[in-house]
Structure 1
Amino acid sequence: MARTRPTRAVTVPGAGTMFALRAIGLVILARWLHSMAQMNFIAALEGMASSPVACLNLVFLFLLIVLPGAKARVERPFHPLPQWLRQALRFFGVFGCLFALWSIGAFVWMAGWRRAVHAAAETNGWLVVLPALYAAVVWICRPRALWRSNFAARRFAIGRYAVSIDVATRTTVVWLESRKLGQYDARELSVRWPGGARVRDGSNPGRAGEPGGVGAAPVSEPVGEPVIPAHAPLDAETTLAASAESAAPVVPAAPATATTPSTQIALIAPVQTAASSHDRRPKIALMWDSPAAAGHNRQTVFRIRLMTEGDRVAARALDAALKQA
């Protein structure tokens, strides 16, 4: 009987994140021990005990190497760490990066660029690598969604929020990073585009300046002039015009102000800048409207601004999927 050939174990999503964090912690610890080996260990330990910054670094290294509570799971590819650990590593990483930059800046200010470059060469570039390692920890632990968008699997990632739709049961689960916000009926959820951002986002095929298109200005008619139908005869036009002239009030003309082209551009530029920034980054809201939940009707599940093109595409796909449900 033929036996199946054993295959190599597939890496669980999230294991690379844990490996990178542990590698950074081991590199910092090895460099720290190397620096302590060049001096007296007893004096170094006494100095560390009296330094609060060194104690914070020890806690940071312990969390970075041990990673308590971390576990790589397939259903959470971008969040193998618990939320409290991510927040703690992010805080210690920002603090360590700022302290390293401040120490290096003070050394450069006091010793000068030449001695700073010479010290960086003697330490094999450690003065540059150390802030970069702290910044890498902050970047790895940055706020992000639970997974990537997969429209075929009905999974959507918008900023820090992740939404999954189960077509069989018509249920929707919403996550904020690794925290579950709630489970809802997909028929009771809807995507709202405040300020008409959905129209500007591409649902209207018209172009700006065309009647009915995006950005088309409303057609205004002159004050005091009657609207004459095209099929009216000539005598009717004359009669309407005469009656309008006799009935229209006299409106004093506004004083003419001399405006230069530069002044007009200065007045129009802020409005155009604000409109263009709003078009590039529209804000959406996921609304929950349940007629069965008394006192909980029309609640906002989340509201977020679409910063990237991927967020805009995921928002449009989520809107279409909820309408189909």
Structure 2
Amino acid sequence: MARTKETRANAAPGAGTIFALRAIGLVILARWLFSMADLDAGASLLAMLSSPWACINLVFLFLLIFLPGARAVAERPFHPLPQWLRQALRLFAFLGFLFAVWSVGAFAASAGWRRAANAVAASNGWLLAAPALYAAVLWICRPRALWRTNIAARRFAIGRYAVALDPATRTVIVWAERRKVGQYDARELSVRWAAGQEARTTPTPTPVPAVAFGGVREPGGSGASLGAAAAPSLAHGAFGRRPKIELLWDSPAAAGHNRQTVFRTALTTEGDRAAARALDTSLQQV
């Protein structure tokens, strides 16, 4: 079968994240240079060296624009950045957001809302745009799994964890964001639900419909039907606490690893709940 020729027009997954971060860095840098245009080079350099906040911003802008080690790869579409770079950008963006919000809030409290509105208009909205840009970097670099859930491909995303199940070799690989947690025998893994929400049910002898998983016909349901057969409703617990699941590894052959927790995470979205139900059902079918 003829393969589609890859060209530069076909951007790899994750290239949009790199582009967005660099664009934000260039916008912040352009505004910073514009605000210091009235000063000469010597005065600007002296002001930066005497300000710890300016030095932090310089490091932040360098990382944000050059993104050392960033590379868009199809195998990790949501993680084109190295883990250390993602954590550094989150830290600097959080500090920048706090400083921007505190500066604008302190000025509005001391000068009054009318003068604050005039200052926002005089700065062409930069006093509001700056915190928004820092918040955007925080959101882009938030913890998340390597990919979206794809039940047909046996790929599951639950919180910041990604799980890949290979039915042919009966192996499961687990990642925490971009870090590989380990590779396990699928027959030794099980999903444990929060107290009062036990998902495992006694199998019944009645036949159930079959659904195709990557070209292989296996018993079970798809999407919501998997969840209906495997787990009850995952409503919020007492005091609004999110339900949690654990992926357990129980290996009789590995001394000291019996009933070890691979990961524990809260189910924050409906996608997490559906992925957890599908993962539980798939592990039972291996």
Identify whether the pair has TM-score above 0.5, normalized to the shorter chain: yes
Which of residues 293, 298, 323 is equivalent to 2:259? 298
Distance change in 2, residues 1:289/1:5 (3 Å) = closer
Gap regions ≥5 residues in structure 2 = 201-226
Distance across 1 between alignment mates of 2:244 and 2:161: 14
Distance across 2 between alignment mates of 1:148 and 1:205: 21
Distance change in 2, residues 1:309/1:5 (3 Å) = closer
Distance across 2 between alignment mates of 1:6 and 1:78: 20
Distance across 2 between alignment mates of 1:95 and 1:149: 32
TM-score, normalisation: structure 1? 0.74
For 2:190, the equivalent position in structure 1 comes to 190
Equivalent residue runs for 1:36-75 within 5 Å: 36-75=36-75
Distance across 2 between alignment mates of 1:35 and 1:300: 53
Distance across 1 between alignment mates of 2:247 and 2:69: 32
Deviations 1:123-158 (A, max 9, x none): 110001000000000000000111000000000000
Deviation at 1:276, TM superposition (A): 7.5
Deviation at 1:8, TM superposition (A): 6.4
Distance across 1 between alignment mates of 2:31 and 2:173: 45
For 2:178, the equivalent position in structure 1 comes to 178
User: One-letter code of the match for 1:61?
Assistant: L
SS in 2 for 1:284: strand
Distance across 2 between alignment mates of 1:186 and 1:274: 30
Aligned pair count reads 256
Equivalent residue runs for 1:20-39 within 5 Å: 20-39=20-39
Larger strand percent: 2
Distance across 2 between alignment mates of 1:312 and 1:199: 12
Deviation at 1:199, TM superposition (A): 5.1
SS in 2 for 1:197: coil
Distance across 1 between alignment mates of 2:284 and 2:40: 69
Equivalent residue runs for 1:193-272 within 5 Å: 193-198=193-198, 202-203=228-229
Q: Is the 8 A contact 1:14 1:80 kept in 2?
A: yes
Distance change in 2, residues 1:302/1:10 (3 Å) = same
For 2:248, the equivalent position in structure 1 comes to 287
Distance across 2 between alignment mates of 1:297 and 1:137: 41
Deviation at 1:82, TM superposition (A): 0.5
Distance across 2 between alignment mates of 1:146 and 1:7: 24
TM-score, normalisation: structure 2? 0.84
User: One-letter code of the match for 1:288?
Assistant: W
Q: Is the 8 A contact 1:197 1:283 kept in 2?
A: no
The reply on whether 1:112 has 2:73 as its aligned counterpart is no
RMSD: 2.4
Q: Is the 8 A contact 2:171 2:183 kept in 1?
A: yes
Gap regions ≥5 residues in structure 1 = 207-213, 215-272
Distance across 2 between alignment mates of 1:293 and 1:144: 30
Larger helix percent: 1
Deviations 1:138-180 (A, max 9, x none): 0000001110000000000000100000111111000000000
Distance across 2 between alignment mates of 1:99 and 1:177: 28
Q: Is the 8 A contact 1:289 1:297 kept in 2?
A: yes
Distance across 1 between alignment mates of 2:66 and 2:109: 37
Distance across 1 between alignment mates of 2:135 and 2:267: 25
For 1:260, the equivalent position in structure 2 comes to none
Percent of residue pairs bearing the same amino acid type: 69
